[in-house]
């Protein structure tokens, strides 16, 4: 999978910018706050129709402009086709090969990306919402139907929470309507969790092997999906997950009515990281947390290749300066697997010479990008 070119209009600090890329390594060099991260973000948004940095679409549009646009040409499975995303106050319009898609879930998955930034350490030590978002974004680009399930679940969850709040205020029961909404929620939740369990199981296989290699066999990483309901494990079938949810509903119903909120479901689940049997989020050193995060990110690349048949784009936002030599070596080894890579940095002094030999260099200053001659 190759991103051959990108064209930005009114995106972040870019007025107009069109670039063609090397199929191997592309390095963006510049001082801080010049637009390096914005360019990587544009590639990410082109692929996933969402930003990793903000949940507010207006933040992506250049100041005082009504819309922003990202266009790209992608080579995949021997075909070359355009992707286009227009962002405005009315929402997003997405086109694949010039055809507009009614749902973003029909757009996502045409270009796969893995992004690694210094803040990805938060994947391990951050809040559960960070890890849920990680799972949802990665699963969504592998299986876009998952995004549709997730959207339906969020709608039912909002309706259910509104009903619970209303009942709490009015102190009068609407059990039949609550039961109906709960039944719909359980059907969607059990399918989401079944898919998540399968995803975490496959991710665990790759990340465990990678982590063992990085640590020279001294550490064993394992990922555990932590469900908000009892009796749900990696081997659970959907019918068993549904039954666990029904049991939780019966057990928690009065507490939910008292608190006016849904107390179980995939929106309350988490992903746990264990190194040699110890929870690295609680007991691990910063080095162990960084290695766990790196292992999972590298595992993403292999899992996407396994699922879609091609490697994703790799986006590295000023991350090489954050890694020691051992971790950097393992990350750089990915480039030898012919993964198209985009790197931002303030200086090429610390970059591996073998990387630079294969790289196309760009200079970024005040929202303008120019190719550099070696």
Q: How many CB atoms lie within 10 A of CB 305?
A: 17
pLDDT at residue 180, as a whole number: 92
Mean of pLDDT values over 299-305: 93
What local confidence, expressed as pLDDT, does residue 328 receive?
74
pLDDT of residue 129: 94
* pLDDT tens figures, 162-210: 999 886 666 555 678 889 999 999 999 999 999 999 999 999 999 999 9
Q: Which of 277, 276, 278, 322 is nearest to 297 (CA)?
A: 322
Give the per-residue pLDDT at 324.
75
Average pLDDT taken over every residue of the chain: 90
20 bridge partner residues: 5
Q: What is the DSSP letter of 12?
A: T
In this predicted structure, what is the pLDDT of residue 168?
64
Burial label for 243, CB within 10 Å (0-12, 13-18, 19+), is middle
150: its two tokens: 């997730």
Q: Are 160 and 252 in contact (CB under 8 A)?
A: no
**Neighbour tally for 49: CB within 10 Å:** 22
325: pLDDT confidence band, cut at 50, 70 and 90?
Answer: confident
Instruction: State residue 171's pLDDT score.
Output: 59
Joined together, the tokens standing for residue 209 give: 């092997």
> Which ranges in the chain are annotated with CATH 3.40.50.300?
1-112+310-374
pLDDT tens-digit profile of 250-283? 999 989 988 999 999 999 999 999 999 999 988 9
Q: Where in the chain is the domain with CATH 1.20.1050.90?
A: 145-304
pLDDT classification of 350: cutoffs 50, 70, 90: low
For domain 145-304, which CATH number applies: 1.20.1050.90, 3.30.56.10, 1.10.760.10, 3.40.50.300?
Answer: 1.20.1050.90
Phi, psi (rounded to 5 degrees) for 135: -60, -45
What pLDDT is recorded for position 374?
Answer: 63
Q: Mean pLDDT over residues 144-158, rounded? A: 94
Q: Residue 193 has which token pair? A: 């969790």
- What is the spatial distance between Cα 83 and Cα 69, in angstroms, rounded to a whole number? 11
pLDDT tens-digit readout, 222-255:
999 999 998 888 778 889 999 999 999 999 998 9
Strand pairing class (313-317; 113-116): parallel
pLDDT of 86 higher than 70: yes
Q: What is the pLDDT of residue 88?
A: 94
As a whole number of angstroms, the distance between CA 127 and CA 125 comes to: 7
pLDDT of residue 266: 96
> Can you name the CATH fold of 1-112+310-374?
Rossmann fold (3.40.50)
Round to whole Å and give the CA distance between 317 and 190. Answer: 36
d(CA 243, CA 368): 57
What pLDDT does 20 receive?
A: 96
pLDDT reading at 3 higher than 90: yes
Instruction: Return the H-helix or E-strand segment holding 363.
Output: strand 359-365
The answer to whether residue 19 scores a pLDDT higher than 90 is yes
Q: Is the pLDDT of residue 33 over 90?
A: no
Residue 174 pLDDT: 62
**pLDDT-based confidence at residue 303 (cuts at 50, 70, 90):** very high
């Amino acid at each position: 999978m190759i991103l051959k070119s990108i064209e930005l209009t009114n995106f972040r600090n870019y007025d107009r910018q069109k670039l063609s890329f090397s199929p191997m390594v592309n390095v963006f060099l510049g001082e801080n706050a010049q637009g390096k991260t914005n360019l990587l973000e544009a590639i990410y948004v082109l692929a996933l129709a969402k930003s990793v940095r903000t949940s507010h679409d207006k933040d992506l549009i250049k100041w005082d402009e009504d819309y922003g646009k990202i266009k790209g040409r992608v080579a995949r499975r021997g075909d070359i086709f355009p992707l286009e995303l227009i962002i405005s106050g009315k929402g997003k319009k997405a086109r694949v090969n010039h055809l507009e898609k009614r749902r973003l879930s029909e757009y996502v998955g045409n270009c796969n990306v893995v992004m690694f930034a210094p803040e990805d350490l938060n994947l391990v030590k951050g809040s559960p919402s960070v890890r849920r978002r990680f799972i949802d974004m990665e699963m969504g680009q592998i299986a876009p139907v998952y995004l549709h399930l997730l959207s339906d679940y969020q709608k039912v969850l909002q309706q259910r929470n509104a009903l619970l709040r209303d009942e709490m205020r009015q102190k009068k029961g609407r059990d039949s309507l609550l039961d109906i909404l709960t039944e719909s929620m359980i059907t969607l939740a059990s399918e989401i969790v079944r898919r998540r369990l399968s995803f975490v199981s496959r991710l665990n296989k790759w990340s465990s092997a990678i982590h063992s290699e990085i640590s020279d066999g001294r550490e064993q990483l394992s990922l555990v999906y932590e469900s908000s309901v009892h009796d749900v494990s990696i081997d659970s079938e959907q019918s068993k997950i549904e039954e666990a949810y029904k049991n939780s509903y019966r057990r928690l119903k009065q507490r939910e009515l008292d608190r006016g909120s849904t107390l179980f479901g995939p929106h309350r689940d988490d992903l746990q990281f264990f190194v040699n049997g110890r929870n690295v989020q609680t007991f691990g050193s910063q080095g162990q947390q960084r290695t766990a995060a790196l292992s999972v990110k590298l595992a993403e690349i292999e899992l996407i290749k396994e699922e879609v048949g091609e490697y994703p784009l790799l986006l590295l936002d000023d991350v090489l300066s954050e890694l020691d030599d051992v971790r950097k070596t393992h990350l750089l080894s990915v480039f030898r697997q012919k993964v198209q890579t985009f790197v931002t940095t303030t200086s090429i002094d610390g970059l591996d010479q073998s990387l630079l030999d294969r790289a196309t260099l760009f200079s970024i200053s005040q929202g303008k990008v120019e190719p550099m001659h070696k």
